[in-house]
Amino acid sequence: MFKRIGKTQILFVSVIMAGLTACKDEEVSPLRTKIDYAKATSSTPYKSLFVDAQGDTTVDLKSGNDRYRIFQALNYYTGAAVRDNKTLDANVMKNMYANSGNPFTDIPSLNISGTSLNNSGVQLRSLTASSLSATEAEAARTRMEGLFTEMANVSKSVGANASKGVAGKTGTYLVDAKGIEIAQIIQKSLIGALQLDYISNVLLNKGLEADNTTLVSGKKYSQLEHNWDEAYGILTLSPIYLANSTDATRGTTESFLGSYIWEYNKASYAKIYPAFLKGRVAIVNNDLTEVKAQANFIRTEMEKAIAAAAVGYLGKWKTGTTDAARAHAMGEGLGFIYSLRYCKLNGADAKFSDDILNNLIGSTNGFWDLTNEKINAAADTITAKFKL
């Protein structure tokens, strides 16, 4: 015979279960011992706080750092057109982008081991525009590969003098027939489509929903811990990002997005590293509210740097005193304007970015047809959108 359970007993059991659920929601991740936030200072090296019960590091920056070095190697290769008067090969650039066919060689000046990158198992292509739909992402990747073909073609004109309708060098910069410095378009496009999009729109967005209660198989970290570390590793190679930097002097060697945050977000660049460190402590403490707060700050300030860089280089076109200076400024500016489409917190998208680009260089002669009015209109549109 079953005994009838009274209302009082049901109520008592319900209270007990609710209490257990609340405790479960509030408990610290069983993986780690809680870390005092006060230990996360601007002079604390990134890996120093995060160890397991055996004293082993739970931080693995290799995959992020390897992608960063692949970006460096690709950028170094595109620079060879001017640096070494070299005709470039589009297939080499495509293979670097996809890390296919062992394309990397040693670059001592950048401390890059070709063998290490060839065997790294990571690439840039698969991560480009990875927050977008599969169709949109593939279009962005195909565009990048098209730029490699353009770069290879324009490298054949390194011995010519650039002019309207003629590819060649203007000063020390190599431009196509429309006066566009393709090497800068490639670099700045990857800052947006690779670094900004993957860090901000993937790892520090949906990536924050990853598991933080169990270790990744064969590893010493949870998936959430690794997502956060991957974001840091693809931003910088420095143990302390921008250590000892002032507004006048950058204190660490940085490239790409990490450099432009310092250059174009003077108000907040010094707060980026503490935010990364505090967010990582919050992951250890299973304090997801704090994790999201630090992620949102980092994302916001990165977007601000991209937008300010776009406006800044438009301004340098106006202040440039030679065709070479103006062409170089526009190459950088156009790449950053393309990258605005990945500034999702500010509501920018492909149409916003493409409309500005078309208004600037959609004419037959591109750069050579630019006017103060076109530059001002573009700068005003970006300034208004991002409230600069």
User: Which tokens sit at 253?
Assistant: 């060697």
Residue 22 domain-assigned?
Answer: no
Residue 57 domain-assigned?
Answer: no
Cα–Cα dist 330/324, whole Å? 10
Within 10 angstroms of residue 373's Cβ, the number of other Cβ atoms is 8
* Phi then psi dihedrals of residue 275, to 5 deg: -70, -40
Task: Tell me the CA end-to-end span of the chain in Å, nearest whole number.
Answer: 75
> What angle (nearest 5°) sits at the alpha carbon of residue 85, between those of residues 83 and 86?
105
User: Which tokens sit at 333?
Assistant: 């500016």
Give the contacts of 322 (CB within 8 A, at least 6 positions apart): 170, 171
* Phi then psi dihedrals of residue 300, to 5 deg: -60, -45
Range of the domain at 262: 62-386
Question: Tens digits of per-residue pLDDT, 122-139?
Answer: 999 999 999 999 999 999
Residue 37 domain-assigned?
Answer: no
* Burial of 31: CB neighbours in 10 Å, binned 0-12, 13-18, 19+: buried
Structure-token match 């319900």, residue found? 14
Cα–Cα dist 182/185, whole Å? 5
Q: How many domains does the chain have?
A: 1
Coil, strand or helix: which one is 368?
helix
* Phi then psi dihedrals of residue 161, to 5 deg: -95, 125
Residue 18 domain-assigned?
Answer: no
Coil, strand or helix: which one is 57?
strand
Cα–Cα dist 384/388, whole Å? 7
What pLDDT score does 27 carry? Answer: 43
Which residue would you say has higher pLDDT here, 304 or 16? 304
Coil, strand or helix: which one is 170?
strand
Q: Looking at 17-21, 178-182, 288-292, which range is the least confident one?
A: 17-21
Task: Please name which of 69, 71, 78 lies closest in space to residue 108, comparing C-alpha atoms.
Answer: 69
pLDDT at 57 over 90: yes
Question: Tens digits of per-residue pLDDT, 246-287?
Answer: 999 999 999 999 999 999 999 999 999 999 999 999 999 999
Task: Please name which of 115, 114, 137 lies closest in space to residue 126, comparing C-alpha atoms.
Answer: 137
Task: Please name which of 120, 72, 75 lies closest in space to residue 99, comparing C-alpha atoms.
Answer: 120
Q: 3-state SS of 171-230?
A: CCEEECCCCCCHHHHHHHHHHHHHHHHHHHHHHCCHHHHCCCCCCCCCCCCCHHHHHHHH
Residue 12 domain-assigned?
Answer: no
Across the range 367-374, mean pLDDT stands at 98
How does the average pLDDT of the chain come out, rounded? Answer: 93
What pLDDT score does 301 carry? Answer: 98
Residue 289 domain-assigned?
Answer: yes
* Phi then psi dihedrals of residue 143, to 5 deg: -60, -45
Task: Please name which of 369, 374, 340, 349 lies closest in space to residue 359, comparing C-alpha atoms.
Answer: 374
Coil, strand or helix: which one is 353?
helix
Give the contacts of 102 (CB within 8 A, at least 6 positions apart): 114, 118
Cα–Cα dist 383/110, whole Å? 36
pLDDT at 55 over 70: yes
Question: Tens digits of per-residue pLDDT, 214-245?
Answer: 999 999 999 999 999 999 999 999 999 999 99
* C-alpha count within 13 angstroms, C-beta hemisphere, residue 3: 5
What pLDDT score does 30 carry? Answer: 65
Residue 39 domain-assigned?
Answer: no
Across the range 180-192, mean pLDDT stands at 98
Residue 361 domain-assigned?
Answer: yes
Which residue would you say has higher pLDDT here, 193 or 24? 193
Alpha helices (runs of H) in the chain, residue ranges in sequence order: 7-26, 62-83, 90-98, 114-118, 134-155, 182-190, 223-235, 257-264, 269-284, 288-319, 323-339, 350-361, 372-386
User: Do residues 110 and 72 lie in contact, with contact meaning Cβ atoms separated by under 8 Å?
Assistant: yes
User: Which tokens sit at 319?
Assistant: 């202040």
Which band of pLDDT confidence, cut at 50, 70 and 90, is reported for residue 11? very low
Can you give the pTM of this predicted structure? 0.92
Question: Hey, which residues does 175 pair with through a beta bridge?
Answer: 168
